[in-house]
Amino acid sequence: MGKPTGFMEYIREVPADRAPLERINDWNEFHLHMPEKELRTQGARCMDCGVPFCHSGVLISGMASGCPVNNLIPEWNDLVYRNLWHQALERLLKTNNFPEFTGRVCPAPCEGSCTLGMINPAVTIKNIEVSIIERGFEEGWIAPAIPATRTGKKVAVVGSGPAGLSAAAQLNTAGHCVTVFERADLPGGLLMYGIPNMKLDKREVLLRRIKIMEAEGISFICNTEVGGSGLPTAQLLADFAAVVLTTGATLPRDLPIFGRNLKGIHFAMDFLTENTKSLLNGNGDFISAKDKDVIIIGGGDTGTDCVGTSLRHGCKSVVQLEIMPRSPDQRSVDNPWPEWPKTHKVDYGQEEAAAKFGTDPRVFLTTATSFEGDENGVLTAVHTVEVSWQKNERGQFIPEPVPGTEKVRPAGLVLLAMGFLGPEQPLIDSLGLERDSRSNIKAEFEKYCTSVPGIFAAGDCRRGQSLVVWAFNEGRGAARECDRYLMGNSELP
């Protein structure tokens, strides 16, 4: 694919981002677009490797290797190189309902398993992907695809995050009448309120797609808590022939140390959600980091998003505590290709903090031991200690405090970004569904059937906290199995 000698002739290039000190003054997306000629050159680097791991979508050592939605990456790289953009879009949409989302927020496991990445920097797959779909919108190639016939079967999708949207899109393609229930005021789930606007624009990108889905015949009912007073489960099961649960894993991991009840300590997702709601409705009602010393406990994408959001509020300082060690700059011997490369990365939030304050905000191998407050119960400081990872008597690695490394850090705002424990349980209880050992809904991968016939589960509520692209994978798969349940067979991929 691409130009046979392109990988030897051209170096990897990615589009420039807006300057950090400029972009922290607004909430606009920070990635700039790459000129078409340069995009085609990057497509030329796809090296006709024979066995393209980039679209394999498998788990190796517990991590994604290749694209979980099995994008036909070498094909559309070649088509972009040959200036056949419309054909490239057709190939892309065969496997991916929403390339405008994955092209912005997916961590690109495809690039981590790119064959060229063994000897040179990988092909810029993610950037080419988002460029193809945006070209499609610019050229008017993206339009509502209304099914020619309807089956008369009514399907409910509970949760409008990435898994729910992909399930709804596929079920609608099969001709079913799809209703998506969302407890928030706007659809999108994690895409709407868990990812900041500067990474995924809500009006220009997310709601653009929601409007297309509505035009295709999908109904979105927001501000509705399924299983509660909004829609009792008995009514849900009576009104719909099948149900697909895509509620996510939204139960946050807490940090129950001394002082946790002080004012000024919040879960990261509450911080991010309120900020985006305020941006959209303009009411100014959000958890503000302005002029505060901010400490974020936890790494990952959510921690990075808290860094970027705090900087845009105008925080006084920002520190990000990570209990894990700093990753190596290059792959270690026990992390070979095509595994996901566990190497040190500087994401947009850390880049912005370094530009603003002169240093990367992350402090590795460090954890909080207690919170300190004033006489009014307001947070003033965080006590921390460095840790070393040691084996316990059962052979498990655990963090042990390092004596003499205790520190008191000033803090006016603490954000807990330590991941999620699993799905919220009330809806699962009301439906009488079996759970797995981690409190997730029990449903076999690739089948997605729960213990109750006609109810399917997909995404984080089934597999636990994971990548957005795995949610798209599972939503598509659950739609296929739901269609098979309703019709006896399915032509959905």
Tell whether 133 and 174 lie within a shared domain.
Answer: no
Say if residue 336 is in the same domain as residue 456. no
* Average pLDDT score over residue span 91-105: 97
200 has a pLDDT exceeding 70? yes
Average pLDDT, the chain: 96
Q: Is residue 145 part of a domain?
A: no
| 158 and 200, same domain (yes or no) | yes
Tell me, yes or no, whether 298 and 366 share the same domain: yes
What sign for the dihedral angle of Cα 221, 225, 231, 237?
A: positive
Q: CA nearest 349: which of 401, 395, 417?
A: 417
* Cα–Cα distance measured from residue 324 to residue 11, given in angstroms and rounded to the nearest whole number: 33
Is there a domain that residue 147 lies in?
no
pLDDT tens digits for 174-183? 999 999 999 9
Look at residue 21 and tell me if it is in a domain: yes
Question: How many C-beta atoms surround the C-beta of residue 172 within 10 A?
Answer: 24
Please check whether residues 265 and 381 belong to one and the same domain. yes
Which pLDDT tens digit goes with each residue over 150-170? 999 999 999 999 999 999 999
Given this model, what pLDDT does residue 372 score?
A: 98
The CATH number of the domain holding residue 303 is 3.50.50.60
Answer yes or no: do 74 and 159 share one domain.
no
Q: Does the residue 198 lie in any domain?
A: yes
pLDDT interval class at 1 (50, 70, 90): low
pTM, entire model = 0.95
- What would the pLDDT profile of 403-412 be if each residue is shown by its tens digit? 999 999 999 9
3-state secondary structure (DSSP) of residue 265: strand
Q: What pLDDT is recorded for position 125?
A: 97
Domain end point (choices 392, 418, 444) = 418
State whether 158 and 238 are in the same domain.
yes
Same domain assignment for residues 170 and 233 = yes
Q: Tell me, what's the pLDDT at 48?
A: 79
Confidence class for position 444, pLDDT limits 50, 70, 90? very high
234 & 269 share domain: no
pLDDT band at 127 (very low <50, low <70, confident <90, very high): very high
> How many domains does the chain divide into?
3
Q: What is the pLDDT of residue 60?
A: 93
Residue after which a domain boundary falls, among 78, 105, 139: 139
Query: Do 192 and 265 reside in the same domain of the chain?
Result: no
Same domain, 405 and 348: yes
Residue 149 lies in a domain: no
- Is 492 among the domain residues? no
Question: Is the per-residue pLDDT at 194 higher than 80?
Answer: yes
Q: At what angle do helices 125-139 and 85-95 cross, to 10 degrees?
A: 110
460: tokens are: 């984080």
Instruction: Name the domain boundary from 418, 437, 472.
Output: 418
Q: Give the pLDDT of residue 166.
A: 98
pLDDT (mean) for 320-335 = 96
Residue 77 sits in a domain whose CATH number is 1.10.1060.10
Percentage of the residues of the chain whose pLDDT score is greater than 90: 95
Task: Tell me the pLDDT tens digit for each residue of 368-402.
Answer: 999 999 999 999 999 999 999 999 999 999 999 99
Tokens for 153? 């079967």
Confidence tier at 47 by pLDDT (50, 70, 90)? confident
Residue 1 counted as domain residue: no
Same domain as 285, residue 214: no
- Decide: 340 and 229 in contact? Cβ < 8 Å: no
144 falls within a domain? no
pLDDT digits over 206-259, tens only?
999 999 999 999 999 999 999 987 899 999 999 999 999 999 999 999 999 999
The domain containing residue 368 runs over which residues?
A: 254-418
